[in-house]
């Protein structure tokens, strides 16, 4: 059996003694509205570790998440947020690496690791990670990868917290001790099949990939999808996988967050017990790339072999997450496409009846964002007519600007989506983690919602004029194969 070792030094204590198992699965709990609720930063009289940050929620009409944050000697960040209304605790780990950090020729590693992390480690055989958690009543259990981070989480009955911490510590320190060529090959096959299901076999999957790759240079990590290049994955060796793990899957590049019903003193003792033995490891240097721009209009005409009706997408490269204009474009997306009363849904679904589906989104990412208008076209409608209708609506705003009441309604929609998402502990953990990584403050949700409330109609119009000019848009038109015989397709242009 061929194995790959990370070469780390440390020892994991024995797995926890498990005496009581509650239930066969975790039923989603129903929470009360969280508006103005902040949880507990720490128990009364609980001592605070040196260097810890404790945030207690001040009175506010904006949701505030109380938390305590501290750092172990090996660099692992810890965030604690208590909620004693239900007897469950979410264990959530973020590794601060995604597709953005991948090197040319080695794409897809971040997503591949999301799969490998569930395939056993030094002290957990094979696929028993899931089995142990499910037998303990854990659910949901999952992980996800995006361009800027990878996360793993499980929600457990409060008496099974130790099990969750032990499992996370084991794969943080000893994943490669049990890694084999057979495991790597198996998960490569799983990822390939996932690409087929999510891109190649779904309507417009290949077309939208073409659009994405037309607006990003090949040298930019956003050029490829998060799933990565299949050629790069085929070429990945155990040595390559071990090097990626050593660089990014270390305590210094991770944050552990607990959300739910736990005793803080006991939780801290367990965290020390299972994570303190992991050695301090060099913190990787983050990439710092200049955000790409579009110098001229880009057009992609695609012959669609899966979808049965045309698709039109317009895309602009816009300011990155949290940069000036990002939130204003988020509000504009809601004004244009959230609900039947929104401008583009009214124009395309009701007035002209050109569309079957309309969506508008500001896809915020750390380096650069993408503002996307996506329209599934009705049969018999000329796709270029849809493009003209969209552009006429954007141009019309120059004469009749977005109104304050439209902004207020859009902000209320955004806030509602965010607040109701907080009902689930695993979502709340991701919110704390998100703001910790991108704002340096786990409790920045309050500031974010207050920033949305401060957005004005003039600010939204300024963002529209600055970031969505006609001459810097990318257009995708995907026509079903049967409908392309008499059409003229322009060659795809690629941004260099």
How do residues 430-484 score in pLDDT, each as one tens digit? 999 999 999 999 999 999 999 999 999 999 999 999 999 999 999 999 999 875 4
Please report which confidence band the pLDDT of residue 195 belongs to, taking 50, 70 and 90 as the band edges: confident
Lowest model confidence (mean pLDDT) among 42-51, 98-107, 418-427: 42-51
The three-class DSSP label of residue 286 is coil
- Per-residue pLDDT, 55: 56
Task: Check residues 35 and 479 and name the one with the higher pLDDT.
Answer: 479
Please report which confidence band the pLDDT of residue 33 belongs to, taking 50, 70 and 90 as the band edges: very low
pLDDT at 390 over 60: yes
Which CATH number is 298-483 given? 3.30.830.10
* Tokens found for residue 162: 């130790």
The dihedral of CA 264, 265, 269, 270: what is its sign? negative
Rounded Cα distance between 165 and 44, Å, is 24
Sketch the domain layout of the chain as residue ranges: 35-275, 298-483
Please report which confidence band the pLDDT of residue 49 belongs to, taking 50, 70 and 90 as the band edges: low
Average pLDDT over residues 209-220: 94
pLDDT at 48 over 80: no
Average pLDDT, the chain: 87
Q: Scanning the structure block, which residue is given the tokens 């017990």?
A: 273
**How far is CA 484 from each of CA 344, 384, 477, 481, 490, rounded to the nearest angstrom?**
26, 14, 11, 5, 12
Rounded Cα distance between 5 and 151, Å, is 23
pLDDT at 26 over 70: no
Correct CATH for 35-275 of 3.30.830.10, 1.20.970.10, 3.40.50.880, 3.40.50.2000: 3.30.830.10
DSSP 263-278: -HHHHHHHHHHHHTTS
Cβ atoms within 10 Å, residue 137: 20
Average pLDDT over residues 16-32: 36
* Tokens found for residue 135: 């037998």
Contact indicator for 327, 451 with CB cutoff of 8 Å: yes
pLDDT at 64 over 90: no
The dihedral of CA 129, 131, 132, 133: what is its sign? positive
CA dihedral 154, 157, 163, 166 (to 10 degrees): 50
Q: Scanning the structure block, which residue is given the tokens 């099974």?
A: 160
Closest by Cα among 335, 348, 445 to 390: 348
Whole-structure pTM value: 0.86
- Per-residue pLDDT, 50: 56
298-483 and 35-275 share a CATH fold = yes
- Per-residue pLDDT, 53: 67
Average pLDDT over residues 82-109: 93
pLDDT at 28 over 80: no
| pLDDT tens track for 364-389 | 999 999 999 999 999 999 999 999 99
- Per-residue pLDDT, 32: 32
Lowest model confidence (mean pLDDT) among 10-19, 50-59, 131-140, 471-480: 50-59
| pLDDT tens track for 109-150 | 999 999 999 999 999 988 899 999 999 999 999 999 999 999
Please report which confidence band the pLDDT of residue 363 belongs to, taking 50, 70 and 90 as the band edges: very high
Average pLDDT over residues 93-110: 92
Closest by Cα among 75, 80, 105, 107 to 91: 80
Average pLDDT over residues 206-220: 94
pLDDT at 27 over 70: no
């Amino acid at each position: 059996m061929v194995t790959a070792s990370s070469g780390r030094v440390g020892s994991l204590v024995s797995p926890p003694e498990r005496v009581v198992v509650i239930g066969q699965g975790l039923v989603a709990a129903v929470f009360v509205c969280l508006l103005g609720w902040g949880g507990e930063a720490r128990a009364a009289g609980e001592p605070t570790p040196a260097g810890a940050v404790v945030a207690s929620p001040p009175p506010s009409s904006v949701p505030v998440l109380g938390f305590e944050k501290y750092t172990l000697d090996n660099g692992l960040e810890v965030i604690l947020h208590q909620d004693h209304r239900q007897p469950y605790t979410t264990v959530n780990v973020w590794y601060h690496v995604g597709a953005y950090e991948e090197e040319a020729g080695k794409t897809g590693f971040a997503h591949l690791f999301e799969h490998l992390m569930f395939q056993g480690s030094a002290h957990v055989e094979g696929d028993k990670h899931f089995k142990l958690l499910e037998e303990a009543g854990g659910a949901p259990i999952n992980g996800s990868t995006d361009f800027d981070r990878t996360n793993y989480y499980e929600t457990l009955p409060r008496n099974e917290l130790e099990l969750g911490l032990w499992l996370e510590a084991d794969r943080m320190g000893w994943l490669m001790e049990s890694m084999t060529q057979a495991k790597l090959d198996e998960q490569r096959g799983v990822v390939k099949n996932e690409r087929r299901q999510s891109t190649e076999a779904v309507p417009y999957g290949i077309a939208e990939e073409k659009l994405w790759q037309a607006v990003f240079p090949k040298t930019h990590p956003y050029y490829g999808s998060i799933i990565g290049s299949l050629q790069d994955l085929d070429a990945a060796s155990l040595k390559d996988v071990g090097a990626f793990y050593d660089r990014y899957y270390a305590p210094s590049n991770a944050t552990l967050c607990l959300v739910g019903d736990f005793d803080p003193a006991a939780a801290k003792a367990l965290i020390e017990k299972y994570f303190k033995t992991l050695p301090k490891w060099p913190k990787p240097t983050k990439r710092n790339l200049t955000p790409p721009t579009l110098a001229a209009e880009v057009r992609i005409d695609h012959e669609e072999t899966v979808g049965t009706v045309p698709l039109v997408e317009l895309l602009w490269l816009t300011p990155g997450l949290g940069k000036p204009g990002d939130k204003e474009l988020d509000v504009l997306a809601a004004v244009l496409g959230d609900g039947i009363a929104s401008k583009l849904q009214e124009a395309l679904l009701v007035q002209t009846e050109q569309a079957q589906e309309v969506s508008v989104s500001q896809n915020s990412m750390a380096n650069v964002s993408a503002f996307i208008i996506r329209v599934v076209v009705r049969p018999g409608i000329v796709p270029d007519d849809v493009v003209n209708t969209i552009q006429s609506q954007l141009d019309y705003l120059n004469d009749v600007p977005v109104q304050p009441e439209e902004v207020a309604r859009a902000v209320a929609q955004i806030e509602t989506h965010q607040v109701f998402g907080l009902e689930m502990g695993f979502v709340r953990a991701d919110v704390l983690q998100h703001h910790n990584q991108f704002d340096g403050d786990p409790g920045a949700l309050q500031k974010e919602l207050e920033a949305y409330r401060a957005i004005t109609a003039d600010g939204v119009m300024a963002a529209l004029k600055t970031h969505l000019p006609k001459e810097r848009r990318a257009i995708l038109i995907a026509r079903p194969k049967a409908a392309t015989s008499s059409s003229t397709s322009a060659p795809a242009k690629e941004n260099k």
